[in-house]
Structure 1
Amino acid sequence: MAPRKLAAGNWKMNGTLAALDQLDGMAAAAEDASCDVLICPPALLIHPMIARVGAGDLLIGGQDCHAAAQGAHTGDIAAAQLRDAGATHVILGHSERRADHGETDALVRAKAQAAHQAGLVAVICLGETEAQRDAGATLDVIATQLAGSVPDGATAANTVIAYEPVWAIGTGRTPTTDQIAEVHALLRDRLTARLEDGADVALLYGGSVKPTNAAEIFAIAHVNGALVGGASLKAADFVPIITALDAA
């Protein structure tokens, strides 16, 4: 089986209840598409979003979870609580979490294990900084993050890998198609060697994906979708990306 295509939107710390109006167009696009469509809003919007879209084709996920199943962790959210709210996925190890909260590969791995145990699909993020790219260390950085962040129990059914070069997130800059292809080929090779169904794990590209460059990105080998930031906040921007992925 081929990797399942996924268009995932990360709303980050954006959106209020008024933003739920954007879901109508996204839900309609998800219903018509053969690819999966996921929106990961701030945690407070998960339940209202699910209440609005119902049990349709638009999937809703979280942006982080704690590695523990429960306990004295003020301000944190357990994977099981996300699942209980109706979430199907959770983003883990995003570069903003790694930078702002000092998250390590080992912590991301523990969170992914917690997500799996709760029945969530873990969208594990990897990416190099501009300095690492300029130093020629990109492939070493990505290989190290992949090995350290993905738990042994990972499968194509419970894990998605998102390559997001840190220097391309929200900057309007994107790597060349050759640079994206090189990293995604490495990811596919390493996953195939390590996991029984590693050839079927969906690989997403993220970092300034927008309607104008989506088709070109989705034509790259081993790119099975995108993790989209700002362009996922409005249906007018996100729906064309969904359409481009569906046509790829």
Structure 2
Amino acid sequence: MNLYGMWAIYYSELSRMWRTLFQSIASPVISTSLYFIVFGAAIGARMEEIDGVSYGAFIIPGLIMLMLLNESISNASFGIYMPKFTGTLYEVLSAPVSPIEIVVGYVGAAATKSVLLGLLILITARLFVTYEIAHPVWMMSFLILTAVTFSLFGFIIGVWADGFEKLQIIPLMIVTPLAFLGGSFYSISMLPPVWQTITLFNPVVYLISGFRWSFYGQADVHIATSLAMTFVFLAICLTLVWWIFRTGYKLKP
């Protein structure tokens, strides 16, 4: 295994975060903090508790997950798209670096950035609301697993996209609406029965539900089901990445 080549890709991608500190770190933290101020402090103080948890604390897992999905996809898709756009990706593909090492380098850097952002937002949330983490190990496991899964998804989008506008289509038109409708700001048990059933077809529900369980020990969906659905999506993304390198889809002229 070419550890040096893998580290070079990982370090190069991670260093881009420090070169664009405001865009990569400050902007997501500030925008998420506004949610805490508006929904947590202002509106949350006037809302009833949900399953014994204050509304401001209840939305923390959903907001972190909302940010995590978008940032993981954005970091990974942009990271692989730019070398493809400039033509430097062909140098990477011709180097003595295997497809696994390339994926680990790009996806690992994107997931690392997303996890760091998630932890920063978690720390920032303490300034606005009081919360507890019932299962910290599970919380970190869900955070890392989700970041890796959606960084793989972003990698696929970056390979598929042939223009900057396509990098934003799926995050803005599909992922963000699914996150908002997946219980980020409410429990799906509050919905009418027919809508509860429909909502279960939204894959993001399982991510948010499992992540919220790690905080408060309560979830809309059983924790085992949430884990299973996450691993299913991870397996689908791994299969697609394998197929991309197997066929050279949009990687080779």
TM-score, normalising length from structure 2?
0.25
TM-score, normalising length from structure 1?
0.25
More strand, by proportion: 1
